[in-house]
Amino acid sequence: MIKQLALVGLGGAAGSILRFLISVYSIKWFPTTSFPLGTFIVNIFGSLLLGVIMGYVLKTETNTEQLRLLIGIGFCGGFTTFSTFAYENISMIQQNNYSQFLLYAAVSLIVGLLAILLGVWLSKSFI
């Protein structure tokens, strides 16, 4: 159990740090946008990465418990953020920015699902 906790913790720490850096730099690189680009980027990339991992697991049918714990649960869990996504949506609604809310919520959902599918396809096709 200690080894499993260490894998999840290590992956989660790395994911959280990378999420923070992407959020900070997305604001520096695109200071004039009110679109929550940092959260969007991490959630879509995290979905793609999780799709690749799941596709690999399904393709190889081997025991990849360590990979699942380190990257699937740890890294992707620390990297992606549903709570921030939800908060940003509520903020847009409270600011009466309904068009941006609808765009952000719909595009995040659709592109996130497509990223999972793409990741599964990539791993089954090329890994």
Q: Which residue ranges make up the annotated binding site for Na(+)?
A: 77, 80
Structure tokens at 47: 């979905």
101, 89 in Cβ contact below 8 A? yes
> Cα–Cα distance between 5 and 80 in angstroms, integer?
19
Distance of CA 85 to the CA centre of its chain: 11
Tally Cβ neighbours within 10 Å of residue 127: 11
CA-CA-CA-CA torsion sign (7, 8, 13, 14) = positive
Annotated binding residues, written as ranges, equal 77, 80
